[in-house]
Amino acid sequence: MAERVEIFEVGPRDGLQNEKREIPVAEKVALIDCLSGAGFSRIEVASFVSPKWVPQMAGSAEVLAGITRAPGVRYAALTPNMRGFQDAMAAAAHEVAIFGSASEGFSKANINASIEESLQRFAPVAEAAREVGVPLRGYVSCVTDCPYDGPVAPERVAEVAGRLYDMGCYEISLGDTVGQGTPETIDAMLKAVMQSVPAEKLAGHYHDTGGRALDNIELSLQHGVRVFDAAVGGLGGCPYAPGAKGNVATEKVHDRLVALGYATGLDREVLSRAAEMARAMRAG
Ligand code: HMG
Ligand code: MG
């Protein structure tokens, strides 16, 4: 039987957070409801951040209230601080994520804190998640390159990933936020990170701006990484990372994984339908 590789769908969050048009809650709900039938175990659908920073995610509580939750699917949300965590719990998110950066410039631009300050802010969120038994995921942004600080040292990524792992994150998602990573830089980064966090606790979150995301996924597979974040229809980017145009498209990742002999457990027809919806949302 083919070995399983999981795709964590992040389009409704990482994709839609970057759209210029104000997308109505009903459209987001329709996309998520479609994705819920594709076979994902985890879908990131919401972000409890300041609406002044990311207005696109302001309707997150309504989105979580409006979707039809499919059995076996965990609906996830970003929670940068305690306020976000409490809002996510009130909206009954199944899992939450804290998101840090391996570069100071991006940390400041994205969450208005130094790396150290951000880790201190995440600690009570991690504690609260543990208390209520909610799975906590950790992101590290700018794992190879930063739009403000340039190339990022692999040791820095390893340090932040290790700190988030020690805080109780069940998985660390490694973000090539601006999609400038190459198999060479991803290789050096993974070798360093795997000194602090085992491969089976890592996920690759590769934006496709430079067109190398699929190559970076193949390289990561060689290191034993078996979870990849992707956004249906290649939606997205990050509002605080200029140039971070698209997340790697879920359907492309699926097709590459299948071609390599892995199983994703996803229904390709549903993915195509969701990708079509995502493209229509983007076109407005
Ligand atoms: P701040 O300005 O330092 O925080 O922002 P603050 O505590 O001074 O609060 C400022 C205002 O925000 C206050 O409102 C707070 O109440 C409010 P005011 O008094 O001015 O009316 N506020 C909140 N409102 C709603 N929900 C909250 C919340 N917290 C404070 N949780 C803060 C700090 C972290 C809040 C801000 O910088 C922020 O929201 N940043 C989010 C940026 C973001 O969402 N970026 C995109 C996601 S990360 C990403 O895409 C990368 C990733 O995909 C991986 C990769 O690709 O690398 C994950
Ligand atoms: Mg991202």
Q: Dump pLDDT digits (tens) for 177-228.
A: 999 999 999 999 999 999 999 999 999 999 999 999 999 999 999 999 999 9
Give the pLDDT band (50/70/90) at residue 282: confident
Known active-site residue 238: yes
For residue 245 and ligand 1, the question of a CB distance below 6 A is answered with no
| CATH number of the domain enclosing 206 | 3.20.20.70
Cα–Cα distance, 17 to 7 (Å, whole number) = 19
Cα–Cα distance, 46 to 142 (Å, whole number) = 21
For residue 103 and ligand 1, the question of a CB distance below 6 A is answered with no
Going by DSSP bridges, is the β-strand pair 171-176/150-151 parallel, antiparallel, or unpaired?
Answer: unpaired
Establish if 12 belongs to a structural domain. yes
Residue 245 has pLDDT above 80, yes or no: no
Kindly identify the ligand whose nearest atom is closest to the C-alpha of 47.
1
Residue 241 has pLDDT above 80, yes or no: no
Residue nearest to atom 46 of ligand 1 (CA): 238
Establish if 176 belongs to a structural domain. yes
Tokens of 146: 């930063």
Number of folded domains in the chain? Answer: 1
As a whole number, mean pLDDT of residues 226-236 equals 95
Cα–Cα distance, 79 to 62 (Å, whole number) = 16
As a whole number, mean pLDDT of residues 33-47 equals 98
So what's the pLDDT on residue 243? 59
Establish if 151 belongs to a structural domain. yes
Establish if 100 belongs to a structural domain. yes
Cα–Cα distance, 254 to 204 (Å, whole number) = 14
Establish if 103 belongs to a structural domain. yes
Q: Dump pLDDT digits (tens) for 48-91.
A: 999 999 999 999 999 999 999 999 999 999 999 999 999 999 99
Establish if 1 belongs to a structural domain. no
- SS3 state of residue 86: helix
Establish if 212 belongs to a structural domain. yes
As a whole number, mean pLDDT of residues 30-46 equals 98
Supply the range of the domain harboring residue 89. Answer: 6-282
